Amino acid sequence: MTAREPEAVARSSVHLSIDVPNLDRGIHFYGRVFGFRETSRPFPTMAILDAHNVTVCMHEKAAGTQSSPAGDEVRRYERHWTPVHLDLHVAEFDAVLANVRAEGGLVESEFRTQGPKPVAFCSDPFGNGFCVIGDRSR
């Protein structure tokens, strides 16, 4: 190990959490648009979803509830963005954008030729922002 290499640590597995105000609606949206599948429901307000290459823990949490005891932030489901968000890479870009709209989400802006792949900034029906990234070869 050189002086510049960090000390070896065990690799973590990554799971993603999405808070929604209505669990069944959240499962429906992400299932219909992206094919996420519920694999278990450990308790009535939490579902585990298989999102192909990542596990999603979807939590039903009411708007206005405190997100952490360490701060003053509360959950809100109006349109919002966070620097940590989903980038969903899809084969059928236009079909997925149509499904986002059909299932109550928003496609806010599209960039089809500005980068190496087409991308759309979107939000789910609960205000959570995400990007849809297409395959340039299609």
Quote the mean pLDDT of the chain: 91
How many angstroms from the chain centroid is the CA of residue 19?
10
Distance CA 50, CA 24 (A): 15
Sequence ranges of the domains in the chain:
13-62, 78-138
* pLDDT for the residue 38: 98
Instruction: Tell me the pTM.
Output: 0.86
* pLDDT for the residue 137: 62
pLDDT tens by residue, 62-87: 999 998 889 888 888 888 877 888 99
Name the CATH architecture for the domain at 78-138. Roll (3.10)
The secondary structure element, H or E, covering residue 18 is strand 15-20
Q: For the domain 13-62, what is the CATH code?
A: 3.10.180.10
Pairing mode of beta strands 129-133, 86-89:
parallel
Common-topology check for domains 13-62 and 78-138: yes
Residue 1 has pLDDT above 60, yes or no: no
**Dihedral of the alpha carbons of 106, 108, 112, 114, in degrees to the nearest 10:** -150
